[in-house]
A and B are shown apart, each in its own frame.
Chain A
Amino acid sequence: MIGSVLEKIHNAVFFQELSNDALEAVAAKATLRRFADGDVMMRKGDPADSFYLILEGHLKIVTTDARGEEIIINKVGPGETIGELALVDERPRSAGAVALEDVEALEMTKDAFFNLLDQRLDVALGILRGFSHRLRFSTTYIEKVIDWSQKTAEGDYSFLEQTQPITNRPGTDDDKAAQLLSTFYSMVRKVKAREEGLKQQVEKLAFEIDQERRKKEFEEITGTEFYARLKEQAQTIRRKRQGS
């Protein structure tokens, strides 16, 4: 297959861990497919028998709401893959995909994919790495969202100031998790602004130390037998080291 296609495959996070040789093996098993604006690439509920790596153009991922109206869940572009999770978990398509312009994509069927995994341990490993890479990214972002949610619930908005809105790296698979994070961020900023409108009050950090408590905690630690022994041993060691 032509070099430019190989390069595009390599740029996809999903395949970024693969060697050139492994990429060629992938490309050899895949079919280049073209779709026009409005073409349905996948239908919700269909059996998942292949996945696509988008090379050119954008498409929308859609589902329908209770009234049967279309909801766009996401927009997907070059370097991204669609449908690959369904290959592994064997569930039917959870959403549909419709081309928004001329789309060029590599299709790999489930059979070809597993065939390849069977034959090539390096490809299988590379793909596993692609998966775990993405999971790790997502986990980092999701932990952040959890942390922020808890803080927001407690009315602690301090994280807003320490955070610069995230720069999405286009075309990488951490986009969605990053989008969640940035959406969450702007939501909290709006919530905060609203709240501040209500209470026109400036917060100030209380830098007061409770001396009573300080003394009590100090005594609790130093009052033990362990501490007395430690202090003695530490003195001996310091004297020894100074003497040398």
Chain B
Amino acid sequence: MSDGKIVSIHSFRGGTGKSNTTANLAAQVALTGKRVGVVDTDIQSPGIHVLFGLDEQKMGRTLNDFLHGAASIREVGFSIGENPGEGQGRAQLKGSQLFLFPSSIKGGEISKILKEGIDFNVLNEGLQTAISEFDLDYLFIDTHPGLNEETLLSIATSDVLIVILRPDTQDLQGTAVTVDIARSLDVPNLLLLVNKALPKHDPQAIKAEIESKFDAPVTSVLPLSFDMAENASRDLFSLCYPDHEWSKALKNVVPFILNAK
């Protein structure tokens, strides 16, 4: 087996910024010259394709096809380096080794897979094949919020798990459970990432407080930003606005990924 690493991005509650963070991190890592894949395992409500400019028309084979045995992983991988599409941020990905493995956005396909369930071995084989066939250094997984079965599957296979949380009580409570699960599943690198921090919160204080509560490193504290909200997932924010506070804080996460054992 190849030694590419699986990096899952997860949050206990929805809307924490998983998809935006995953897409931006994957892009940043790809821009360091690494070969990177991004899999959308949020089968119920896929979203990350939007950040890479894919719509129903552009989307070819999907992870769903693979899970049904109707397509090979090679057919599912969509080269962003060859098709960066419109958008000033994404355009910078031209020529990079970045591949998206999207989840179908067709209602019928979604309900079909939810009915049938996902076989751990098939999904795992898909991930491993993606790594070996595309010779990936990193395979990022964008997950569905909560701890449902497909999410547990991706946590179970990951080498690095990044749990995103907002600094509020409910997220902290849910994150506590996620952290316990990740430890129970022996995830080798458990990282935390705070998103949507308010200006009134001192990033250092948040970091210290959360690290002491969970005994896991907080890789960065990303500010809640109106500019991010306005970007509304239209493009890769950290490529469009590299000097923005959010982008700078996001880039702090990259070395944690590159140095994970």
In the complex, per-residue mask of B189-226: 1 if CB is within 8 Å of any chain A CB, else 0: 00000001011110000000100010000000001111
CB of A134, distance to nearest CB on chain B (Å): 15
Given the contacts A162-B199, A205-B168, A214-B180, A144 and B229 also touching, CB distance less than 8 Å: yes
Report the count of interface residues on B (CB-CB < 8 A): 37
For the A-B complex, the count of residue pairs with Cβ-Cβ distances under 8 Å equals 77
Within 8 Å CB of B173, what residues of A?
209-210, 213-214
Given the contacts A164-B226, A230-B152, A234-B185, A221 and B147 also touching, CB distance less than 8 Å: yes
Answer yes or no: B120 CB below 8 A from chain A CBs. Answer: yes
Q: Is the interface of B mostly helix, strand, loop or mixed?
A: helix
In the complex, per-residue mask of B148-182: 1 if CB is within 8 Å of any chain A CB, else 0: 01001100110000000001110011001100110
Distance of A82 Cα from B121 Cα, bound (Å): 59
Answer yes or no: A31 CB below 8 A from chain B CBs. Answer: no
* Extra pairs beyond A231-B185, A233-B121, A234-B185 (11, CB < 8 Å): A158-B198, A205-B201, A214-B177, A218-B180, A218-B181, A221-B147, A222-B181, A226-B152, A227-B152, A231-B156, A234-B157
CB of A13, distance to nearest CB on chain B (Å): 16
Q: Is the interface of A mostly helix, strand, loop or mixed?
A: helix
A240 with B169: CB separation less than 8 A: no
Answer yes or no: A67 CB below 8 A from chain B CBs. Answer: no
Which of A162, A206, A221, A240 is B198 in contact with, Cβ under 8 Å?
A: A162
Within 8 Å CB of B185, what residues of A?
230-231, 234
Distance of A244 Cα from B4 Cα, bound (Å): 12
- Residues in A lying within 8 Å of B, measured CB to CB: 140, 144, 158, 161-164, 166, 205-210, 213-214, 217-218, 221-222, 226-227, 229-231, 233-235, 237-238, 240-241, 244
CB of B70, distance to nearest CB on chain A (Å): 24
CB of A235, distance to nearest CB on chain B (Å): 7
Distance of A109 Cα from B185 Cα, bound (Å): 68
A162 with B121: CB separation less than 8 A: no
Distance of A144 Cα from B152 Cα, bound (Å): 32
Within 8 Å CB of B180, what residues of A?
214, 218
Given the contacts A214-B176, A230-B156, A240 and B1 also touching, CB distance less than 8 Å: yes
Answer yes or no: B75 CB below 8 A from chain A CBs. Answer: no
Distance of A234 Cα from B188 Cα, bound (Å): 12
Distance of A164 Cα from B198 Cα, bound (Å): 12
Distance of A214 Cα from B173 Cα, bound (Å): 7
